[in-house]
Chains A and B, each alone.
Chain A
């Protein structure tokens, strides 16, 4: 079922540091109800960005959409996720079958943002339901109930995918890709990454700067078995462990070196890089 979906009430503003003009582009896309594709490596802030944008669009004081209880419905796609999982299915309840909307249908009805994370992982039949929602029709055909559901005026579809993720055999078809405005993310520049690390973990700016430098250097080793380098998320984890009283080098070992590779020699080299960069 949709056990992999998560709804957020977004009562507090998710902190997000804009890297370029992505906030403006997303807002413009939302005004025109253009679907958005977020593209970038793991742990670079795609999910945080969409949470932040949902808060801006649905929770800011001047928003007409503040009454919507669940402004963002997120679905973590996996290889067994089908269109049924998105749209809904009949459940057996007592002695009768009852229809249960899937997360996409709920978002289409309520006018929320539906965020399909790692969409290329899902089965191909999901493209069928996506396509009709991403062009001028903005409808969702529900085959099993015979319903053709018009999308709520506030509904927006956002998908993400990670082109560098090596286990992915599939790719987004041009017919799907070209229905979306694309925002391309990468790990932020070192100063920005340091700001993010400091904010998310509470460590001081100097240590955050050092950790960002560690991240930059370790990404130079990405050809040695970890294609995407170390994510901003892992750098934040290391900082959070440090803020929690763990010695910084040990924190980096646990949160970075051991997390990105199983190659003992590469772990050792990462340890040495951490060792010389940290004070």
Chain B
């Protein structure tokens, strides 16, 4: 290894080492979560995908352009800052596709517009982030050093290249000396408008149109500057000039020659504008739309409902109006290591309008409700206890006062603990119930009445290994669905509703969450009742709104529950997970059939819960649960219920046992 290569290696910064850091850096500055991704190369089959779409930032897999590590890290920061600039400075709000469609030389216009936008954004960057100027200077100088000479080029490409080099900080005089000085000076003067404070994307578009018009005029002016060609060389030169406006040659990215592409590439797809339009005003503080189907803005509505009517809001509106998201590591069983900040959990409030839900539960389970209440009522503690001889309290402790007076009169030290105070001898328990809301909970339960009358040779339920479909199997005959049937999720909701009522009696602090999701970037965490919430009609409606959704990425949901429980000051913390199948998601492992990955990640998450002092318990309504539960948790920490309708009774038993 040469000394230079060794030096490069020492300074190299790899994306995988700084992924979370860059993600946090980008989120802080942009005001929203952005996926920071590696630029996929042709070699990896992804093509050079680095489009700026308002949702992602694309950076190289590693940077080793500079010998010093902090300079390479600075280059990463510049890449993030530059691409955030497209969002903050309004580039994505501009309909570039529309502009290009109306122009005779769209590739040329796009190239010039891109260069001007980069100039505008970098000028704004210098003003907005003065601490990044040194890094930007360094990155620009490095990129500039690798640009080609303009002298051998034909006039128009030479001018476009000169403009790009000017945007990278090349000296104006040097450029003008080598490339059609007078015209280049005019182009640079036109371009310089975008570097002024307050320049907008429309200024870049206007300047780009003017520059393209000048470049178009160049061809018409060329003959006046040339002698009539008489030699083959002069003919060739003129032909080259004529062809210099062949638009296709500008279709390649101007970033192709950069050492690394820190600038990204603008999209011409107007849908990008629709996705991000209006979100980034000057301050770049707005929030992003929620993934999934939960309506954005619901939190705003909730805040409005919660706010007292007499309230006068001072200062700016709350920043976060969309669902909050949280990043969690995930345990990669195959690599035996954590994947840092791998899963994004979106926390959102469940809201429902079925205010008759609890009435239905009570009528369905009248006898059970009384039984559960009675069972829980018997362990309700005494409400108050008197603590004597405290340093302060509600009343003087007469015995203490007498002793103190005697001590004083006899010349001894007097005790200052003279009071009696009343302390609530409360159960110090916080419990979180985490309910699987995966698609499989949609399957109807076997009708007990039908089962009793069914012929003996009726087809059995699908074997457990048939995947998600545990209840009702794949029977698609109309008769099987002709009457509305209760589903797994319905029974789970009934069980939780009964628990809520019982826990109110007991006075324990509790929360009810549901989880589902679709891939690691979109783990859904639904809050029906959070710890501080009081039980009210909207809580019942939220519980009633739990519906089957997508996958079962259990590890991330458990980790988020741990975070929430960790904030509770209770002495005893309990996490009860109610699920109907093994952990599963389309990217939960090497492929969808990789069950072990999800099981091991869930097992790891449960270990994390135990380390955090949380008592966890899994209740599974999957006859095949034994297969994986024994690998996820200790035998005393799970229960398999064959008959899902027994869930309400079993859940209350489990809770009482765990917390007594």
Name A residues whose Cβ lies closer than 8 Å to a Cβ of B. Answer: 1, 19-22, 25, 39, 44, 82-85, 89-90, 92, 95, 97, 144, 166-171, 177-178, 180-190, 192, 216-224, 265-266, 268-270, 272-279
Task: Evaluate whether A171 and B81 lie within 8 angstroms (CB atoms) in the complex, with A92-B404, A189-B315, A279-B131 already known.
Answer: no
Query: Which of the candidate stretches B19-27, B358-366, B472-480, B597-605 sits at the interface with the other chain?
Result: B19-27
Which of the listed residues A44, A85, A92 has the most CB atoms from chain B within 10 Å of its own CB? A92
Spell out B's residues near A (CB within 8 Å). Answer: 20-21, 24-25, 27-32, 77, 81, 128-132, 283, 285, 307-308, 310-320, 324-327, 392-396, 401, 404-405, 408, 418-419, 421, 509, 531-532, 534, 567-569
Which residues of chain A are within 8 angstroms of B394 by Cβ–Cβ distance?
82-84, 89
In the complex formed, the residue of B with least CB distance to A188 is B315
- Asked if B285 contacts A216 (CB within 8 A), the reply is yes
Is B25 in contact with A182, judged by CB distance below 8 angstroms?
no
With a cutoff of 8 Å between Cβ atoms, the chain B residues found around residue A268 in the complex are: 21, 24
Other than the given A276-B131, A277-B131, 14 more pairs (CB < 8 A) read A20-B315, A89-B392, A92-B405, A97-B396, A167-B567, A180-B310, A182-B308, A183-B311, A184-B314, A186-B314, A223-B325, A269-B25, A276-B29, A276-B81
Known contacts A84-B394, A90-B396, A272-B77: does B24 contact A265 (CB below 8 Å)?
yes
Chain A residues with CB below 8 A from B24, complex form: 221, 224, 265-266, 268-269
How far, in angstroms, from A218 to B285 measured CA to CA in the complex?
A: 11
B318 cross-chain contacts in A, Cβ below 8 A: 186
Query: Chain A residues near B28 (CB, 8 Å)?
Result: 217-218, 220-221, 269-270, 273
B393 near A84 with CB under 8 A, answer yes
Instruction: Return the chain A residue nearest B345 by Cβ.
Output: A223
Nearest chain B residue, comparing its CB with the CB of A21: B312
CB-defined contacts of A277 to chain B, threshold 8 Å? 128-131
CB distance from B401 to the nearest CB of A (A): 6
On whether A169 and B312 interact (CB within 8 A), knowing A223-B326, A276-B77, A276-B131, the answer reads no
Contact A25 B312 (CB under 8 A): yes
| Residues on B with beta carbons closer than 8 Å to the beta carbon of A19 | 314-315
Task: Tell me whether B315 and A186 are in contact (CB under 8 A).
Answer: yes
Among candidates B310, B392, B404, residue contacting A181 with C-beta atoms closer than 8 Å: B310
Pick the contact of A177 from B27, B308, B319 — CB < 8 Å? B308
Give every chain B residue within 8 A of A89 (Cβ-Cβ). 392-396, 419
Q: Which residues of A contact B129 (CB under 8 A)?
A: 276-277
B285: chain A residues within 8 A (beta carbon): 216, 220
Residues of B within 8 A of A82 (CB): 393-394, 421
Question: Do A275 and B310 touch across chains, with their CB atoms under 8 A apart?
Answer: no
* A-B contact list, 16 entries, CB within 8 Å: A89-B395, A90-B395, A92-B405, A167-B568, A180-B310, A184-B307, A186-B314, A186-B316, A187-B315, A189-B315, A190-B283, A192-B315, A270-B28, A277-B128, A277-B129, A277-B131
List the A side residues contacting B419 at CB < 8 Å.
Answer: 89
Provide the bound-state CA to CA distance between A273 and B128, in Å: 11
Which of B308, B405, B408 neighbours the largest number of chain A CB atoms within 10 Å of its CB?
B308
The answer to whether A168 touches B532 (Cβ under 8 A) is: yes
Q: B21 contacts which of A97, A182, A265 (Cβ < 8 Å)?
A: A265
Taking CB as reference atom, which chain B residue is nearest A183?
B312
Q: B130 to A279, Cβ gap below 8 A? A: yes
On whether the beta carbons of B418 and A92 are closer than 8 Å, the reply is yes
Note all chain A residues with C-beta closer than 8 A to B311.
39, 182-184
Q: Which residue of B lies closest to A264 (CB)?
A: B21
* Residue among A185, A187, A276 with the highest chain B CB neighbour number at 10 A: A276
Residues of B within 8 A of A20 (CB): 312-315
- Across the interface, do A221 and B314 meet the contact criterion of CB distance under 8 Å? no
Determine if B25 and A272 form an interchain contact, defined as CB atoms under 8 angstroms apart: yes
Across-interface contacts of A168 in B (CB, < 8 A):
532
Contact, CB under 8 Å: A272 / B21: yes
How far apart sit A171 and B21, CA to CA, in the bound complex (Å)? Answer: 36
Nearest CB on A from B291, distance (A): 15
Measured CA separation A275–B70 after assembly (Å): 13
Task: Provide the residues of chain B in CB contact with A185, threshold 8 Å.
Answer: 314-315
Query: Is there contact, CB below 8 Å, between B308 and A85?
Result: no
Give the distance in Å from the alpha carbon of A279 to the alpha carbon of B285 in the complex: 22
Bound complex: CA A219 to CA B316 (Å): 13
Report yes or no: A216 in contact with B531, Cβ–Cβ below 8 A. no
Across the A-B interface, the 7 shortest Cβ-Cβ residue pairs = A269-B24, A276-B129, A279-B130, A182-B311, A276-B132, A186-B315, A20-B314
Given contacts A276-B129, A277-B131, contact A183 B314 (CB under 8 A): yes
A269 and B21 within 8 A (CB): yes
**Cα–Cα, bound, A187→B131 (Å):** 25
Query: Which of chain B's residues have a CB closer than 8 A to the CB of A181?
Result: 310
What residues on B are CB-neighbors of A270 within 8 Å?
28
Q: What's the least CB distance linking A231 to chain B, in Å?
A: 13
By a CB distance below 8 angstroms, the chain A residues around B509 are 169
Minimum CB–CB distance for A278 against chain B, Å = 5
Which one of B394, B401, B569 has the greatest number of beta carbons of chain A within 10 Å? B394
Q: Output the nearest chain A residue to B400 by Cβ-Cβ distance.
A: A92
CA distance A170 to B424 in the complex (A): 15
Chain B residue nearest to A171 in the complex (CB):
B532
A272 CB contacts on chain B under 8 angstroms: 21, 25, 77
- Cβ 8 A contact of B569, one of A169, A187, A192: A169
Chain B residues contacting A219 (CB-CB under 8 Å) are 319
> Which residues does chain B contribute within 8 Å of A186, judged by CB atoms?
313-318
Which residues of chain A have C-beta atoms less than 8 A from B314's C-beta? 19-20, 22, 183-186
Distance A272 CA – B327 CA, assembled complex (angstroms):
19
Contact call A1/B81, Cβ cutoff below 8 A: no
- Does the CB pair B392–A221 fall under 8 Å? no
CA of A222 to CA of B320, assembled, Å = 10
Q: Which residues of B contact A192 (CB under 8 A)?
A: 315
| Complex-state Cα separation, A222 to B24, whole angstroms | 11
Whether A275 contacts B569 in the complex (CB less than 8 A), given A183-B312, A184-B312, comes out as: no
- Nearest chain-A residue to B391 (Cβ)? A1
- B81, closest chain A residue (CB): A276
Measured between beta carbons, the chain A residues less than 8 angstroms from B531 are: 169
Residue of B132, B314, B532 ringed by the most chain A CB atoms within 10 A: B314
Question: Do the beta carbons of A220 and B312 come within 8 Å of each other?
Answer: no
Q: How far is the CA of A39 from the CA of B307 in the complex (A)?
A: 10
Verify A217–B29 contact, CB threshold 8 A: yes
Q: In angstroms, how far is the closest chain B Cβ from the Cβ of A157?
A: 15
Inter-chain contact A265/B131, CB cutoff 8 Å? no
A101–B541 alpha-carbon span in the complex (Å): 48
Cα distance, A167 to B421, chains bound together (Å): 24
Known pairs A89-B394, A269-B28, A278-B131; A224 contacts B327 (CB<8 A): yes
**Given the interface contacts A265-B24, A269-B28, A272-B25, does A166 sit within 8 Å of B325 by beta carbon?**
no
A265 to B332, CA, bound (A): 20
Q: How far is the CB of A184 from chain B (nearest CB, A)?
A: 5
Docked pose: A273 CA to B23 CA in angstroms: 12
